[in-house]
Amino acid sequence: MTDIRKKHLKIKKKNSTIFLTCIVLIIISIIYGINIINNKQLTNKENKLQKKDNTPTIKEEDTSFEKASKLSYYRKENDTRYRAYRKLNPSLTTEQIVTEVNIGLDNPYYTNDIPVEKLNSQYILVNKYNYLSKDYIPADLQEISSQYSAKNMLYLVSYAKDAFEEMAKAAKQENLTVLAMSTYRSYDYQEQLYNNYVKQDGKENADTYSARPGYSEHQTGLAVDVCNGKESYTNFEVTQEFIWMQENAYKFGFILRFPKDKVRETGYSYESWHYRYVGKEIAEFIHNHNITYEEYYVQNIQK
């Protein structure tokens, strides 16, 4: 081999090495570039996912409250309270927030309370936020037939009395005994009762089961405590009559007023014996939707 040929071969070898190195570098750059793009895309995706988990942005929050303002029972004057209540109860739906604030549940019981509206009607709502005056006595109280009461002198407003007797009669036809044992109570009588309970159990305990005077549904003449004449009324839950009442009371316009799973909404411990007359239509709706009278009232009656 001549020297020139040797030189040529050396240059050729050098060129191909440079060429190969360049190709390798290009391939490395391409792979590296793709990785960067992929990573960027992943980070974007992650960010998007994270955003989804975070608390709603102001825009989302406003959209949700736009929904609240479209509810028929939304009250503009409560708007600040809705927002504050939602912060404390993020798991509640917009409907629940508006309903519960309208009931008053964002305030402790017996605060922000107002005088009862709809006096002398079956729509009256009395609870720890709505009170009756000392001198309120419902019109047209009538005594319940002794056939259907455990004591004498038990009074309900006439239409509630008629409905109660009709209900007790229907139970009797199935060999069951539904008796009234406490009905209308005056303000003064409730005051005595409540004060006795406070003496006995202390104010905090008494408040869980007894209404303060003016705040008792018994003053409306639309509420009735029942028993079956054998068991104590506080054991009404274990009776056949209770099962019958659960299936039939609403057909006569009565609702179980303080259900077991609604203590927070009503503000009262469960009372299997306490029924309230609201009329057949409302009683059926409440029965079918498993709601309290508080919820029904703020959604359908309160203006």
**C-beta of 106 vs 225, nearer to Zn ion:** 225
**C-beta of 165 vs 225, nearer to Zn ion:** 225
Those residues whose C-beta lies under 8 Å from the C-beta of residue 184, and which sit 6 or more positions away, are 138, 141, 154, 155, 156, 157, 218, 219, 220, 221
The H or E element spanning position 94 is: helix 94-103
Q: Find the binder of Zn ion among 100, 106, 165, 225 (CB under 5 A).
A: 225
**C-beta of 106 vs 294, nearer to Zn ion:** 294
Question: How far is Cα of residue 44 from the mean position of the Cα atoms in its chain?
Answer: 40
Verify whether residue 284 is a known catalytic residue. Answer: no
Q: What is the residue type of 82? A: Y
Out of 217, 241, 265, 271, the active site residue is 271
* 276 touching Zn ion, by CB under 5 A: no
Least distance CB 179 / Zn ion (angstroms):
14
Binding piece for Zn ion, criterion CB under 5 A, among 42-50, 83-91, 172-180, 266-274: 266-274
Binding piece for Zn ion, criterion CB under 5 A, among 120-128, 134-142, 205-213, 221-229: 221-229
Q: Going along the chain, which residue ranges are E strands?
A: 114-115, 130-131, 141-143, 155-157, 179-182, 223-227, 254-258, 271-277
Q: Find the binder of Zn ion among 81, 185, 212, 274 (CB under 5 A).
A: 274
Least distance CB 233 / Zn ion (angstroms):
9
Tokens of 280: 């057949």
Q: What is the residue type of 118? A: K
**C-beta of 101 vs 160, nearer to Zn ion:** 160
Closest residue to Zn ion in the complex (CB): 274
The H or E element spanning position 19 is: helix 3-53
Active-site annotation, residues: 271
User: Can you give the binding site for Zn ion, defined by CB under 5 A?
Assistant: 225, 274
